[in-house]
Each structure stands twice: as structure tokens, then as C-alpha cells.
Chains A and B, each alone.
Chain A
Amino acid sequence: MSFIVLRQGLVVGESSSGVADVVIEDGIVREVGPKVSKPSGAVEVDVEGCWVGPGFVDLHTHLREPGREEAETIESGARAGAIGGFSALVAMPNTEPALDNAALVSYVLDRGDKTPLDIAVAGAITQGRRGELLAPMAEMAALGVRLFTDDGTGVQNPSLMRRALDYAKPLGVRLAQHCEDELLAAGGSMNEGIVSSRLGLVGRPALAEELMVMRDIELVRLTGCPLHFLHLSTARSVALVVAARREGLPVTCEVAPHHFTLNETSLATFDAHFKVHPPLRPLSDVDALRTALAEGLIDAVATDHAPHAPELKDLPFDEAPPGMLGLEHVASLTYEALGGEATNPATFFSLLSRGPARIAQLRARDLRPRHSAQGGAMSAGEDANVVVFDPRERWSVRRDDLQSRAVNTPYDGRALLGRVRTLVVKGEFVVHDGVLA
């Protein structure tokens, strides 16, 4: 077991931050103090000027295993997550076959145990994600699954969604919805608007997303079951969820980095690296998401990390699959969106760690003996999942440098500010000085 002292970083707690030393021993945070004396045998790391907080938690990672291992595996996805500062990932269930039963969930959990990170699983709501019959959620919940979703598409049938919420509520789990009414989205491949009209591409109107957000808020009101809204992309969607939360409804929401950094005009060259569902929206929505992030109206930033083999992104635009990579640069993009140097460190860690850990119920171990507690307060006694983020470092995304098996990033060549320097998971170095340990 490693013995580590992180010297003189800005330690970011839930409500206050201060320069301190962090002592990590035997997998737990042993001490957080202004100036601890050097314990014998400890590895000392000078992190002055850096932010020290709980390891990031991604609510929305497509690890592609089983079924699409040519695009990503649990092992390669965990490496990409580690470089991005993540100590826990929630694996999405739209694999082939879909993670819709206890045997497949166990498979992913077992493979996850071979990585240094905590790999949690989101189970499917319906069998095969076909939106017809409920999946055995109770059996999956018994393995520690706390989040269920048919992500990739939403549950289209309102009656089935209502039944899913009724069934999930007594299990103490949360459902998560990919909000897009597929009939209204009409098989489109980008945002409906000026740009789609000019390019001759079928559009997915903002209303396709917003209508399902509205529907599901009312279903939560009817059933009382908690619901998480995945990758909201429009100003209106966020406003609807914020209003529902103010009414006291148990709803939470996430936004994805591409939706607050890129807009629909990127599609003008028909480059399928910019194709994603929900689609990139107009600049006005991008600005609204950034404002909502800074104002603390969003519960989590989640990557929707969606690896695809290169030949699939070379297909004609309307045939190419939607989705883009996200794990390795999301922290920098979030820092940029929150205002760069003006970023409040507590908001930053709330969005990338504590918020998502709360939503996925990863803050306590309880039902998941093989996992550790995530999204901690940075106080003595808790599991040592700690990330060191250097807000001063400038770097550029390079497609060839990615840990992911896939290379479908829309950010190739983009200059970024702020980078993960060190990641400690369960007390051990996973990333040290910006490289995998």
C-alpha cells in the first residue's frame, strides 16, 4: 500500500477550500492539515498552485464492451478515464448485447475490477433496450446497480416509462432518460434549423428533446420516482428541469462538454466527428448552458464518451453513427466553460465529482463491497480517491495521443487550459505527472 503526501495544494472541500497537505495511507485519506511533518517512507509530491479534490466521476461513459471492442474496451476506457482524472465511471448499457440482466452486469463489474478505477454499471430499463418490456431491474439492483437507462434512445412509450418509474421507486434506484422523441426527431442527423436547411440534412428539432423532458417531469410528478436527465442540450430543457426541481420534484440533470463548447455551425463541412445525439445546437443554447453551469443550476457534467471505429466516422454523414469522445479533455473544457481563471473550484468539483457521485449513489460503499466511496469531502478517514488538477497548464488535444482505442474526437488540435496532473484511486497512483503510473 502506498504512502503519499500531496504538499501545499488548494484542497477543495464541499463548502470551503484552503491550502493544505493531504496524507494518504492504506487507501484512505489519513490527514488533511496546513503543514504536516514528513511521515517516514512517504512519497512527497509538491502540488503548490494545483487544485486537490475528489476524483472525478463520469455518469455517462460508453465503454462498448461487450460487443464493440474495436472501438473501446473496459480496460482502454478506464485508461482514458484515468488520464481525464476519473476515479469512477458509470458504464452505459447500450452494448451488444445490452446490459439488461444480472449476468451481463456481473461480467462488466468483473472486467472493471481488473482496472484501477471503480467501474459502476447503469442497467437497461427495458429488455434489449427495445422499449417493449421491463428489464429485471431488481436483480441488477441487487448487484449494486443504482442507475437505469436505455440511453442511445429514450423510452418512447409513455405508458412503459410510467411503469418503469413505478417499478423502480421501491428499489431505491434512479432512472435516467435520453430525452428525444424519435418520431419528432424523424431520423434526422443534426439540429433542425438554419444550418440543416442549408445543408439539406434532416433536422432533429429542439422540441424533440424538450417534449420528452416535459413528459417525464410530469411522470415524475405522478410516480414520485427519481429521474436523471441525460445530456440536456437546450436552454429550454434546462429551464424545465430547474423549475421542476424548485417545485421539489426528485429530478437531476447533466450536460455534456460538447454541448457547452461546440455549436451547430461546425456541421457545415459534413464532418461526422461533430455528429451526436442530441445534436449540437445553436450558439444561444451553448451560451445558456454555460450560464447555467456557472450558476450552479446543473447537477453534473457527464462526458457521453462515445467511441466509434474510424471507418464508421468516414461514412456519409447521414449514415455515420452519432457520438464523440469525451473523457480525456472534459476537465479542461469544464474549467474553460466556468470562466477559466475565474472558476470557482467548489463548483468545478461539484460538477465533475460530488454531483455525479450523489446521483449514481457512489458516495457510500453499502451495496458495492468491491468499490470505494466516491465524491468525498476531502476529510480524514474517507477513501483516498483524489485528483490533482493544475489550472495553469496549457496543452493541446492530439488525436494520436489519446488513450482511448478510438480517435473520434472533435477537439483535435484545440488548445486547452488546465490539466489533470495526478490521480490517486483507492490510495494508489494511477496518473503521476500527467502520465499513467
Chain B
Amino acid sequence: MMNSLRGENLLSLDDLSEEAMVEILDTAESFVEVNRRTIKKVPALRGRVVASLFFEESTRTRLSFETAAKRLSADVLSLAIASSSVKKGESLRDTISTIDALGIDAVVMRHQSSGAALQVSRYVPHVRVINGGDGQHQHPTQGLLDAFTIRQILAERSGTTGLESGSTLFKGLKVLVVGDLRHSRVARSDVAAYVTLGAEVRVAAPGTLLPDDLASWPVSVVTDFEEALGWADVVGLLRLQRERGSGSFVPTLREFTTTYGLTIERAKKLRPETIIMHPGPINRGVEIDSRVADLPAAVIDRQVTNGVPVRMAVLYLSVAGTKGDEQ
């Protein structure tokens, strides 16, 4: 368990203490302001090289990380896997060695296999590894930016700031996570973030989309989804991971929507202040009705916006921070 990300890899939110998470959120606050400037750039990582390796397709995470690195003045090496030697059969180990040989300080990596980021961290121990999503395991920066977004909104409402509030706004916060928990790396990271920061988490999903060993998760399962909607301060929807086979875990998409989709009727059960979140990309009409996705309570675009300062904070702490720095 790490008490600070300074000088460390970010592989899983299971590794981070509450203190370490708050440090990242607080650091991200300071970068929010940078993103509002006309010249959106600070020299924090000038001269450092960040490689961006996306073995699995991504829109927002990749753009968000690369934007974050550039705003910190880092040089970004971006490998398009579709046109790389990986297509000629180069192994993960050799690909990473090749890029390392060019001289890099950090690698942001997304891969379809759980554990790939951890494996890479063993191959290049001198390089900081930031997990941008590995298989069904973890998506740590998504968990952090979701927590950041919640804190930001709650702080605005209570007339305070994220920095002043620390983790206090999460104490007793009621979060309902809905959908494909079995296949979702976002769910694993979100649950770790929310629970570590002090929230109470409940989950709702068809029996086939709950994780294998739910008893070991620090959550409870709701028996009445509609009632739970009225209970929740935050509803976190998850994308149905059809590319990971979740299609065969529910009879039809229509039935999934009928039973666990956030339809316009169900959205009426929410309290007015309840926050609706979704990591994207959204399947409109499946997990969430198109009209619900466009409600003011749905903060999907804000999550994307916050991705940049949160990833700036992660890169800054991990790459510029020194191990054991008590600062």
C-alpha cells in the first residue's frame, strides 16, 4: 500500500491509500487552473519523455493522457499499434525494450490483457508505468477522475473547494454502480477509489454480470434497483462490454435495458441532486437513454474534461516526484 504516488508506478487503485488518493486529487486541482489559461502549459516535465502505448483502441483516454503530458511540457512518443511491429509479431517485451532504448521516462499503457502493465513494469523497472487500462483488471486514472469529479461538484454545492474538503465529502456518500461489473476494469478502480475515500457503495446488475466472488468485494448488492435509485447520491453506469463477451451474459440488449438501463422513467426516481456518471463510450439506448445522457445531472463531459488535470497530476507525481519524498 502506497501513501504517495511520488516516484511510483500507478498500476492499480488497490495499491493506493486514502492519503495518496487525496494527494493526487489535490494536485489535480492545481492543474485545473492551467487548463483554463490561454497558454495551457507548465514546464513541470520539460525534457521528460512519455511514451503512449495503446494496444487496445481508445479515444478519450489516449487523447486525455497525451494532452496531459503535453501540457506538462513533456515530449510524447505515441505508438500507433496498428502500424507498428506488433503487427509483425513483436512481443510485448521486445516492443517495450525498443521504446525504452529510445530513452523514455514514463510509459502510459493500455492493453487487452489483465496484468500487462504490471508485467511491463518488471521489464523496465527504471521507467514509470501508468496503467491506462488493462483487460478487466484496473483503470486507475478513470477511478481517480471519477472521484475528482464527484468531489468538485459536491464542493461547489457546499460552497467550499476540493482542496479544503480533502476526503470529507466522501464520508457516507451513497454510490450506486450499475451494469457490467464482471467485465469492467472501471468498476474495479471506481469501487477501490470510492471505498478508500469513505463512500458506501452498492451495486446493481443481472446475476451474470456480477463478479465471481462478490463476497470479497467491499460492496453490497441491491435487490431492488428502482428503490436504490432513490437512495443514491451518485449513480455510476458502466458500459456493457460487448467486446469482452458480455453479449452472451444477457439474453438481449433490450432485456438488459428493460431491467438495468437508466431509462427516462427510472431517471424520475432519482433525487434532483443525484449525479449521473458514465466513463464512456456510452451505448445510447442500452445502459442509458439518450435523453437521460443529456440531462444536466449527467456529468459525462465533465468527467472527460477532468481527465486532463487528473492525468497531469498522475504523470507529475509519478515522473517528477522522487521516491520517499515526504513533501
CA separation between A199 and B216, bound complex, in Å? 12
Mask of A172-212 contacts with B, CB within 8 angstroms, 1/0: 00000000000000000000111011111111010000000
CA separation between A165 and B217, bound complex, in Å? 45
Chain A residues contacting B185 (CB-CB under 8 Å) are 200
Q: Which of B14, B114, B135 has the most CB of A within 10 A?
A: B114
Contact A318 B113 (CB under 8 A): yes
Chain B residues contacting A196 (CB-CB under 8 Å) are 212-213
B116 near A: Cβ within 8 Å?
Answer: yes
Contact A200 B118 (CB under 8 A): no
Contact A315 B91 (CB under 8 A): yes
B111 near A: Cβ within 8 Å?
Answer: yes
Q: How many A-B residue pairs have CB under 8 A?
A: 68
Mask of B217-240 contacts with A, CB within 8 angstroms, 1/0: 100000000000000000000000
CA separation between A196 and B188, bound complex, in Å? 12
**Which of A194, A197, A198, A318 is close to B135, meaning CB atoms less than 8 Å apart?**
A318
B138 near A: Cβ within 8 Å?
Answer: yes
Closest residue on chain A to residue B184 by CB atoms: A200
B137 near A: Cβ within 8 Å?
Answer: yes
Which residues from 117 to 149 on chain B have a C-beta closer than 8 Å to any C-beta of chain A? 118-119, 134-138
Chain A residues contacting B269 (CB-CB under 8 Å) are none
Contact A197 B116 (CB under 8 A): no
CA separation between A270 and B136, bound complex, in Å? 13
B93 near A: Cβ within 8 Å?
Answer: yes
Chain B residues contacting A316 (CB-CB under 8 Å) are 92, 111-113, 115-116, 119
Q: How extensive is the interface on chain A, given as a class?
A: 20 to 34
B37 to chain A, nearest CB (A): 38
Contact B216 A201 (CB under 8 A): no
Contact A192 B212 (CB under 8 A): yes
Contact B119 A311 (CB under 8 A): no
**Which of B92, B135, B215, B216 is close to A200, meaning CB atoms less than 8 Å apart?**
B135
Mask of A104-127 contacts with B, CB within 8 angstroms, 1/0: 000000000000000000000000
B218 to chain A, nearest CB (A): 11
Closest residue on chain A to residue B217 by CB atoms: A197
Chain A residues contacting B136 (CB-CB under 8 Å) are 200-202
Closest residue on chain B to residue A311 by CB atoms: B91
Which residues from 278 to 308 on chain B have a C-beta closer than 8 Å to any C-beta of chain A? none
Closest residue on chain B to residue A201 by CB atoms: B114
Chain B residues contacting A198 (CB-CB under 8 Å) are 14, 188, 216
Chain B residues contacting A203 (CB-CB under 8 Å) are 212
CA separation between A359 and B103, bound complex, in Å? 58
**Which of A192, A194, A311, A318 is close to B114, meaning CB atoms less than 8 Å apart?**
A318
Which residues from 174 to 231 on chain B have a C-beta closer than 8 Å to any C-beta of chain A? 185, 188, 211-217
Chain A residues contacting B135 (CB-CB under 8 Å) are 200-201, 318
Closest residue on chain A to residue B123 by CB atoms: A314
Chain B residues contacting A411 (CB-CB under 8 Å) are none
CA separation between A205 and B112, bound complex, in Å? 22
Mark A residues whose CB is within 8 Å of B: 192-194, 196-203, 205, 269-270, 311, 314-319
7 contacts between A and B (CB under 8 A): A192-B212, A194-B213, A196-B213, A200-B137, A270-B118, A311-B93, A317-B116
